[in-house]
Amino acid sequence: MVLEKAKIGEEHEALMSGCEAIAVALALADVDVLTGYPIRPYDTVINFIARLIADGQMDADLIHAEGEHSQFEIVKHACVSGARVFTGSSGVGWVFAMEPLVVTPPARIPVVAICGNRAVDDPGAFGCEHNDQYLVRDIGWMICWADTAQEALDLILMSYRVAEDPRVFLPCSLGVDGSFLTHAMNIVKLPSKAQVDKFLPRYDRGKLRLHPDNPISVAVQVNEDWLQELRRTVNEGAITSKAVVEQAAKEFYQIFGRQKDPFFEQYMTEDADMVLVGAGTLSLSVRANVRKLRKEGKKVGFVRMKWLRPFAAEEVRECLSRFKAVGVIDRDYSYGSGDFGGIMFHEMRSALYTAKKQPLVSNFICGLGGREIYEADVREMVKIMEDSIKAGTVKTPVTWVGTRSR
């Protein structure tokens, strides 16, 4: 039997799943309070945390909540009292926690969570879709997506750094695609404790810390004479978070040599006529097929979004307006929205509205319920973009790619 025990704190490489890499990041970040309630794929992180605590490799309070709602409430309160916290959920579990999810940002509580992306019921399914995390897009949560186990580890450390910055003090959720990221075991480079300590300062809530020595009221009742100004302060945190992400990524790169580009990553875009844009693990298939299409002389590139909140509109505009056509891949849907497209499609098209030169933007909805994105799907997307360029206009703004159809 090949017995392995995680070595936490030493710089080394290990074969581990995305969930295990997240757990190691949490141990390295010295998280104080964690809560769990079983749901795939989130629970795999907690399984591994439980093992780390049992093995004496992590010192933290792991609380088994009676439901997702309590999970998020517990960490919210612990975080107000000065604890570094972690929680998360997936799919409908995430939805059940919606009330504490909504009240966390306005109280300026830097909870860090993962959303182990899973299709929202019905029908019951555990494959990956991004709608669950997008549910907190508009309420003050910062949201980002990783595409490998390595990046999941990196972005957990980044999340604490950004969320716990007193100028921000907003919760942050990391999206990890169920199965493709959470359960696939890859070789991951684990940083040393010294590196992490250099990057991640201690969480200090200052005067906002709830403590017998510092009696304060959090989450009070107000009327119309107060609320708009309070909302404006949350908005200020969200605005500031963009510069904080940039600064954090810069320092992360100096220490760990990764996360060079803070908001999105460009792949083979230098001379591209058209690019695909997407988030999460679909990058694996898209990158490989972009390479294939490049060999056939098609000038295709790929832009992988990491942070969707804060949304780097200016950078996105500057990047995407260089191309003739942009195809946004959504592993989600927004039923009844304009042109019946996906969520990221609307984000991108809206950002591009004020660009001096606008590319032809189309939308591809695919990979729902954890369906793979195949070579034929990527070829279909590129074909649609080519047709748009040829016609000089977008004939079909939205296409459901890879759907069994007549």
Partner 1 sequence: MAVYAVEITNRGVYQYNLGRRISRDVVLAARKMGRVGVAFGRYSDSPERNGIPMKWFAVIAENNDELEEQMAKYYPEVVDAAIVLDDTLLKGVESWSWDGLHPVNERVKEKGVMIVVSDQSHDELLKDVHTKDLPYKLITIPGEASFSGMWIIRDDKSEARIMGALAAALPDMISPDAVQQIFKDKADQDAAARAAKQMVTRVVEPGEGNPAEPYRYELPVWQDLTEYGIAVVGMGKGGGYHGGKEGYEPTRSTTFRKHLSRTFRPMTNFDACTQTRDCWLNCPDEAYNVTPDGFFETDYGACSGCGKCAEVCPEKIIVMVPESEFEDEASVYEMWKKDKAAYKKFFDEKSAKGWFAGQLVGPHGYVRKGQYEEEIKKKGIK
Residue found by looking up tokens 């070829």 in the block: 379
Could you say which DSSP state residue 211 is in?
A: B
Residue 122 sits in the site that holds partner 1 (CB under 8 A): yes
Selected range binding partner 1 among 303-311, 336-344, 366-374, 384-392, rule: CB under 8 A: 366-374
How many Cα neighbours within 13 Å face the side chain of 29? 28
**Residue 372 interacting with partner 1 (CB under 8 A):** yes
Residue 374 interacting with partner 1 (CB under 8 A):
yes
Residue 36 lies near partner 1 (rule: CB under 8 A): no
- Provide the 3-class DSSP secondary structure of residue 155: helix
Q: Which is nearer to partner 1, 20 or 330 (CB)?
A: 20
**Is residue 2 a contact point for partner 1 (CB under 8 A)?**
yes
Q: Is 288 in the site for partner 1 (CB under 8 A)?
A: yes
8, 106, 126, 355: residue in contact with partner 1 (rule CB under 8 A): 126
Q: What are the backbone dihedrals phi and psi of residue 350, each rounded to the nearest 5 degrees, phi first?
A: -65, -40
- Whose Cβ is closer to partner 1: residue 179's or residue 388's? 179
- Contact at 8 Å (CB) between 119 and 333? no
| Residue of the chain from 15, 194, 227, 230 that contacts partner 1 (CB under 8 A) | 15
| By CB under 8 A, residue 3 contacts partner 1 | yes
CA 233-234-235 angle, 5° bins? 90
The answer to whether residue 220 forms part of the interface with partner 1 (CB under 8 A) is no
Q: Does 184 bind partner 1 (CB under 8 A)?
A: yes
Using the rule CB under 8 A, is 117 a contact of partner 1? no
- Amino acid letter, 79: C
Q: How many residues does the chain have?
A: 406
For the stretch 267-304, what's the b/e string if a residue is b when 16 or more beta carbons lie within 10 angstroms of its beta carbon?
Answer: bbbeebbbbbbbbbbbbbbbbebbeebeeeebbbbbbb
Q: Is 284 near partner 1 (CB under 8 A)?
A: yes
**Contact in structure between 218 and 107 (CB atoms under 8 Å):** yes
Q: Does 405 bind partner 1 (CB under 8 A)?
A: yes
Q: Which helix (H) or strand (E) holds 35?
A: strand 33-36
Nearer to partner 1, 32 or 332 (CB): 332
Instruction: Kindly state the smallest distance separating residue 66's Cβ from partner 1, in Å.
Output: 20
Q: Is 357 in the site for partner 1 (CB under 8 A)?
A: no
Instruction: Say if residue 105 is preceded by a cis peptide, omega within 30 of 0.
Output: no
Size of the site for partner 1 (CB under 8 A): 32
Query: Does residue 266 touch partner 1 according to CB under 8 A?
Result: no
Count CA atoms within 13 Å of residue 334 on its CB side. Answer: 20
Query: In whole angstroms, what is the distance from residue 55 CA to residue 281 CA?
Result: 31
Q: How many CB atoms lie within 10 A of CB 16?
A: 23
Buried b (16+ CB within 10 A) or exposed e, 359-384: bbbbbbbbbbebbebeeebbbbbbeb
The nearer residue to partner 1, 24 or 78, going by C-beta atoms, is 24
Helix%, strand%, coil% for the chain, nearest 5: 40, 20, 40
Cα radius of gyration (the chain): 21
Minimal distance in Å, beta carbon 15 to partner 1?
6
> Which of 207, 232, 295, 406 is close enough to bind partner 1 by CB under 8 A?
406
Identified binder of partner 1 from the candidate list 77, 120, 137, 186, rule CB under 8 A: 186
Is 253 one of the binding residues for partner 1 (CB under 8 A)? Answer: no
Q: Give min distance, CB of 152 to partner 1, in A.
A: 15
Window contacting partner 1 (CB under 8 A); options: 59-67, 269-277, 284-292, 345-353? 284-292
Q: Which helix (H) or strand (E) holds 363?
A: strand 360-365
- Specify the stretch interacting with partner 1 by CB under 8 A; choose among 1-9, 102-110, 228-236, 257-265: 1-9
Question: Among 63, 120, 185, 355, which residue sits at the site for partner 1 (rule: CB under 8 A)?
Answer: 185
Q: In this chain, which of 87, 133, 240, 285 binds partner 1, going by CB under 8 A?
A: 285
**Binding residues for partner 1 (CB under 8 A):** 1-3, 15, 17, 40, 122-123, 126-127, 178-180, 183-187, 284-285, 287-289, 291, 370, 372, 374-375, 403-406
